[in-house]
Amino acid sequence: MNQGEDGLPMTTVEGGYAAAAEQRLRLAEMCRRTEKAAEQIGNNGAVRDVTALLERIENEAFHVMVVGDFNRGKSTFVNALLGDRVLPVKAVPATAVITEVRFGESPAALLWTADAAEPEAVDPDRLIELITVNNASADERSPYVKAEVVWPLELCRHNVVLIDSPGLNAYETHDDITLTHLSKADAVIFLQHAIAPMSISESTFLKKYLSAHDPFFVFTYFDAIDDHERDDVTASARRRVTDLRGEDRDRSRFFFVDGKSALRARMAEDDEAFRRTGVEAVERELERYLVTERHKVKLLAPARSVRGVARELRRNIPSELQMLEAESGDLERNWAAAQQPLRELEAQAQQITLDIRNETRVLQDRVETLLGGFLAAVADEAPLVAQDVEITTKLGLNLLKAKVRAQQVAEEIAGGTAKAMEEKVALWVGESLKPVIEQDLERLAERMNAELTSFEAALEKLRIDLHGASGAADAGEGREDEPLTKFLAGLGGFVLSGPAGALVGARFGAKEALRTFLPAFAIGAAWALTPFGLPVLVAALIGQGLFQGKGAGERVEKKMREEIGRAMATQLRLAAPKEAQKAARAFAADTMEPMQREITQGMSFRIEELTRSVASARQVLDQGEEAVERRRGELNRLDGLLGRADDEIGDLVAELTRM
């Protein structure tokens, strides 16, 4: 174990990636020991659970996603981090698919299609050709949905997977590709141009999609700015972000870099030149964040989960030992008498599961009703929103170009209106819907704690009735180990505070729970494809002769804004019930159903372990005194092993909690 100067385990802040890897290996070893103990006890369900946890721990990686508009230097920056020209770099939109770069001793490249069970291996030298945008038909989807690059790179050796995304707003299909992968990112690097930071599209993306993240704001092409202007540029960039996000939230997350020079310095192994580019500072802060905040989230839940398994296995050992002291006939009579209480306990578990299902339906209906009502009401604001949308295309009087220009203007108005309406929905969700749902979850948490407390009390009474001894007390179990907390230890949201914390189940905390409420509207695009969509509108305006005469451009634009606003209000009213239903279902699937599954499985595990311990004791008693002595010694040894595992996992949990 790596140790600091004080002799205590080295923290991940001090030891970086190496210390994080050491903690992960420690937890994996504790899982193996617990798994082996479960095998020897004979609990196949516990073996299965711990095996799944071990696989999760061993396969965890830090996913770092780089996002930004086209031509912000994303691929150049990623290549600088990697230290080689791995990804395509062009002066036109380049990357067409999500590209994941991970460690491997030998270079390799894999391409995934949407319906493929296995990826297609390709020559790494052809990768750039295969994943680069076809600029002649850019809105055509690539046949590939993801590229995986395996490369012997130092950064990736530390269990880091770098994800390069297609440029936002370069093409509509690319936005979808990026957003579908954003939720699994542990860290997000938001690249912008230092000379023109926080464009309208970048500001919208930040507010709409990154509110649940703490991005690293990296401003490229800083080398193109004269020295005497750099202070003003950095102050302006900071101000634009803090105006959107708050004064203190991102104080240490602004970086101004020279990506091209960083790549050249890395390839030349010139450490001093690389330091001057500003990319090294990004690497340092990224490492600190990953090995503390993200590492904590990734390990705490499985650590507490395997500790819960170890404790539950150990809890039944005194019961089995006590049963081995009984006469075979007495145990048979006690077991026969326990059948009715056992059926009642199983019925109690079924009722708790049913209660959670009923509460899930109630909460799902509540989300659907509140969201549907808001969407229908906010639709009335679409005409006013359409009037204020900023556009870049201007209408001219040339009738030969009128249709094309009008189409472009109409698409900008429709797209801008749709984005503005989405922002209104997101704001309402955060300020109005989220507090209501959190209150409901708090009440549910209190009810579940009461019901699970009753379940555990009935289980303990059944143990005592079987052999007259209670299970081993769990040292260290206190307020933080109330029943609901223990049952939901494996869910990511366990790291949250408060009774509702475990119910949120969000990977990044309470903020990320908002994603389950947000319907993904594509109002602008959907409306354009209806029979009364943009092409019909443009043709009608030309037919009315509105492009002729003085002030024709202003008249046409005003008419467009009116028509688009009205049509989109109608479209939103019609879509409101379906979108609200879809969002409510996502809330149930992402938040409530995992909770129900964990609690149901936890109750089953406890009942099965009690039943197994009785069956084991009965079998051993039938085999005679020698078998009893052998089993007694084995159980005592396993009790000590599980006790040590509990203590060691507790130490690791304490280390992680202190981060």
> Six-digit token pair at 391?
């556009």
Cα(537)–Cα(556) distance, integer angstroms: 11
Cα(555)–Cα(562) distance, integer angstroms: 11
β partners of residue 122: 109
> Six-digit token pair at 88?
């395509």
Q: Are residues 97 and 228 in the same domain?
A: yes
Helix (H), strand (E), coil (C) string for 384-450: HHHHHCCCCCCCCCCHHHHHHHHHHHHHHHHHHHHHHHHHHHHHHHHHHHHHHHHHHHHHHHHHHHH
**Which pLDDT score is estimated for 520?**
40
Mean of pLDDT over the chain: 80
Quickly state the pLDDT bin for 549 (edges 50, 70, 90). low
Cα(212)–Cα(479) distance, integer angstroms: 29
Domain boundary, last residue among 226, 252, 277 = 277
Q: Are residues 121 and 64 in the same domain?
A: yes
**Which pLDDT score is estimated for 475?**
40
Q: Are residues 354 and 251 in the same domain?
A: no
Contact 363, 592 (CB under 8 A): yes
Does the pLDDT at position 290 exceed 90?
yes
Residue 571 lies in a domain: yes
> Six-digit token pair at 425?
């929905």
> Six-digit token pair at 207?
């507010």
> Six-digit token pair at 235?
């102050």
Strands 160-164 and 98-103, by their bridges, are antiparallel
Residue 502 lies in a domain: yes
Residue 192 lies in a domain: yes
Contacts of 22 (CB under 8 A, 6+ apart): 1, 2, 10, 15
Q: Are residues 368 and 511 in the same domain?
A: yes
Q: Which residue has the higher pLDDT, 407 or 25?
A: 25
Residue 259 lies in a domain: yes
User: Could you say which DSSP state residue 158 is in?
Assistant: T
**Which pLDDT score is estimated for 301?**
83
Q: Are residues 528 and 612 in the same domain?
A: yes
Q: Which residue has the higher pLDDT, 488 or 285?
A: 285
pLDDT (tens digit per residue) in 200-223? 778 878 877 787 788 999 999 999
Q: Return the C-alpha torsion angle 642, 644, 646, 648, nearest 10.
A: -140
Look-up of token digits 């991970």: 102
**Which pLDDT score is estimated for 73?**
79
In terms of C-beta density within 10 A (0-12 exposed, 13-18 middle, 19 or more buried), how is residue 559 classed?
middle
- Most confident listed range (118-122, 481-485, 616-620): 616-620
Q: Are residues 243 and 119 in the same domain?
A: yes
Residue 326 lies in a domain: yes
The percentage of the chain sitting over the pLDDT mark of 90, rounded to a whole number, equals 33
Show the domain range for 358: 316-623
Q: 32-46, 88-102, 254-268 — which is least confidently predicted?
A: 88-102
Spell out where 104-155 has E strands: 108-112, 120-122, 146-151
**Which pLDDT score is estimated for 502?**
38
Does the pLDDT at position 477 exceed 80?
no
Contact 250, 217 (CB under 8 A): yes
Q: Are residues 226 and 328 in the same domain?
A: no
Q: Are residues 203 and 324 in the same domain?
A: no
Q: Which residue has the higher pLDDT, 417 or 545?
A: 417
Residue from 475, 483, 229, 237 nearest 349 by CA: 483
**Which pLDDT score is estimated for 12?**
59
Does the pLDDT at position 88 exceed 60?
yes
**Which pLDDT score is estimated for 505?**
38
Quickly state the pLDDT bin for 11 (edges 50, 70, 90). low
Residue 44 lies in a domain: no
Q: Return the C-alpha torsion angle 113, 115, 117, 123, nearest 10.
A: -10
Residue from 81, 281, 103 nearest 73 by CA: 81
Q: Which residue has the higher pLDDT, 95 or 286?
A: 286
Residue from 362, 323, 382, 419 nearest 617 by CA: 323
**Which pLDDT score is estimated for 493?**
40
Residue 286 lies in a domain: no
| Phi, psi torsion values for 248, nearest 5 degrees | -105, -10
Q: Which residue has the higher pLDDT, 208 or 100?
A: 100
Q: Are residues 74 and 130 in the same domain?
A: yes
Cα(359)–Cα(362) distance, integer angstroms: 5
Q: Are residues 259 and 399 in the same domain?
A: no
Residue 657 lies in a domain: no
Maximum alpha-carbon separation in the chain: 108
* Radius of gyration from C-alpha coordinates of the chain: 30
Look-up of token digits 């143990």: 463
Contact 652, 26 (CB under 8 A): yes
State whether the Cα torsion 384-387-388-391 is positive or negative.
Answer: positive
Look-up of token digits 């005003």: 558
pLDDT (tens digit per residue) in 109-160? 898 887 778 888 888 777 767 776 554 444 455 677 788 888 888 888 888 9
**Which pLDDT score is estimated for 142?**
62
Q: Are residues 272 and 322 in the same domain?
A: no
Question: What is the total count of domains within the chain?
Answer: 2
Cα(174)–Cα(166) distance, integer angstroms: 6
Averaged over 25-36, what is the pLDDT?
95
**Which pLDDT score is estimated for 399?**
52
**Which pLDDT score is estimated for 217?**
95
What CATH number is given to the structural domain containing 198? 3.40.50.300
Element (H, E) at 124: none
Q: Are residues 247 and 325 in the same domain?
A: no
CA angle 233, 238, 241 (to 5 degrees): 130
